[in-house]
Amino acid sequence: MRVKETQKHLTRLTVLLLMALAAASQALPGCQDSCGSVSSIPYPFGIGNSSVTGHNCFQEKELELTCRNSTLYRGQGNAQIINISLAGKIDMLMFISKVCKNESQGNRPSLRSPAFTISSEDNKFVSVGCDTYGYLNSFRNGTTSSTGCLTRCDSLESVESMQRSGNCPGIGCCQVDIPPGMKNISLRAYSFNNFNSTSDFNKCGYSFVVKNGNYSFSVDHLKGINFTMAPMVMDWSVGNDTCDASMHTADYACKSANSSCENSPNEYGYRCKCNPGFEGNPYLLHGCQDFPECTRNKHNCDSEDHCIETSGSFECFCPDGLIGNGTKEGGGCHPKQKADPFIKIVIDAGVGLIALFIGVSWLYLMYQKRKVLKLKEKFFQQNGGIILRQQLSTREDSSQSATIFSAEQLKKATNNFDESLIIGKGGYGTVFKGLLSNNKVVAIKKSKIVDQSQVEQFINEVIILSQINHRNVVKLLGCCLEIEVPLLVYEFVNNGTLFDYLHNQGEVVNVSWKTRLRIATETAAALSYLHSAASIPIIHRDVKTANILLDETYTAKVSDFGASRLVPLDQTEIATIVQGTFGYLDPEYMQSSQLTEKSDVYSFGVVLVELLTGEKPFCFDRAEEKRSLTVHFLCSLKEDRLFDVLQVGILDEENKQELMEVAILAARCLRLTGEERPSMKEVAMELEGIKLIEKHPWINTGKNFEEGQYLLHEAQSSHEHGDSSSAQQNTGYDSLRALELIDFGNGR
d(CA 481, CA 377): 9
State residue 22's pLDDT score. 46
Q: Is the pTM of this model over 0.75?
A: no
CA distance 92 to 86: 15
293-320 residue pLDDT tens? 898 888 889 888 889 988 888 999 888 8
Residue 701 above 90 pLDDT? no
DSSP state of 449: P
Determine the Cα–Cα distance for residues 116 and 268; give it in Å rounded to an integer. Answer: 9
φ, ψ of residue 449 in degrees (nearest 5) = -60, 130
Band (685; pLDDT cuts 50, 70, 90): very high
pLDDT of 691 higher than 60: yes
Q: How many residues does the chain have?
A: 748
Query: What pLDDT digit, counting tens, does each position of 329-344 carry?
Result: 888 888 877 666 778 7
How confident is the model at residue 448, as a pLDDT? 66
Question: What does DSSP say about strands 97-100 and 110-111: parallel, antiparallel, or unpaired?
Answer: unpaired
Sign of CA dihedral 595, 600, 605, 610: positive
Residue 156 pLDDT level (bands cut at 50, 70, 90): confident
Residue 542 CB: number of other CB atoms within 10 A? 24
| Residue 340 DSSP symbol | P
Angle, vertex CA 25, rays to CA 21 and CA 30, nearest 5 = 120
Q: What are phi and psi for residue 406, nearest 5 degrees?
A: -85, 160
430-478 residue pLDDT tens: 889 999 989 999 999 887 665 666 666 677 677 777 778 889 999 888 8
pLDDT tier, 549 (very low <50, low <70, confident <90, very high otherwise) = very high
Listed in order, strand segments (DSSP E) in 463-581 are 476-480, 487-491, 538-539, 548-550, 556-558, 565-566, 573-575
Most confident of 348-352, 577-581, 671-675: 671-675
Provide the pLDDT for residue 572: 52
Which letter, b or e, does each residue of 647-660 get, where b requires 16 or more Cβ atoms within 10 Å of its Cβ? beebbeeebbbbbb
Q: Is pLDDT of 669 > 60?
A: yes
Whether the per-residue pLDDT at 23 is higher than 60: the answer is no
pLDDT tens digits, one per residue of 525-539: 999 999 987 777 888
**Per-residue CA distances from 375 to 219, 371, 386 (Å):** 96, 6, 15
The arithmetic mean of pLDDT across residues 113-137, rounded, is 93
Q: For position 708, what pLDDT does the model report?
A: 44
Q: At what angle do helices 597-613 and 629-638 cross, to 10 degrees?
A: 70
Active site residues: 542
Instruction: Please tell me the predicted confidence (pLDDT) of residue 425.
Output: 77
Q: Give the contacts of 737 (CB within 8 A, at least 6 positions apart).
A: 716, 719, 720, 722, 727
DSSP state of 151: E
Confidence category of residue 398, pLDDT binned at 50, 70, 90 = low
Please state the rounded mean pLDDT for residues 158-185: 86
Helix (H, G, I), strand (E, B) or coil at 135: strand
Name the average pLDDT for the chain. 82
Instruction: Report the pLDDT value the prediction gives residue 545, as an integer from 0 to 100.
Output: 92
First to last CA, the chain: 100
Indicate whether 260 pLDDT > 90: yes
Q: Of all residues in the chain, what percent carry a pLDDT higher than 90?
A: 39
Round to whole Å and give the CA distance between 35 and 49. Answer: 15
Looking at per-residue confidence, does 395 or 239 come out higher?
A: 239
Q: What percent of the chain has pLDDT over 70?
A: 81
Residue 96: closest CA among 106, 84, 87, 104? 106
Residue 67 main-chain phi, psi, to 5 deg: -110, 110
pLDDT at 748 exceeding the cut of 60:
no
Choice among 208-212, 262-266, 709-713 with the minimum mean pLDDT:
709-713
Report, as an integer, the average pLDDT of 472-500: 87
Question: Looking at the predicted structure, is the pLDDT value of residue 711 above 60?
Answer: no
From start to end of 311-352, where are the E strands?
313-316, 322-324, 333-335
Q: How far is CA 463 from the centre of its chain?
A: 41
Q: What pLDDT is stored for residue 731 in this prediction?
A: 30
Q: Cα–Cα distance between 303 and 324 in angstroms, integer?
A: 13
pLDDT at 21 over 60: no
Extract the annotated binding site for ATP: 446
pLDDT of 216 strictly over 70: yes
The pLDDT of residue 330 is 82
| Measured distance CA(16)–CA(22) in Å, rounded | 10
Cα-Cα-Cα-Cα torsion 515, 518, 519, 524, nearest 10 degrees, comes to: 160
Q: What pLDDT is attached to residue 694?
A: 64
Give the span between the Cα atoms of 307 and 294, in whole angstroms.
6
- What average pLDDT does range 401-420 have in this prediction? 88
397 pLDDT more than 70: no
pLDDT per residue over 577-614, tens digit each? 667 788 899 898 888 888 889 999 999 999 999 999 98
The larger pLDDT score, comparing residue 379 to residue 124, is at: 124
Residue type, position 478, single letter: G
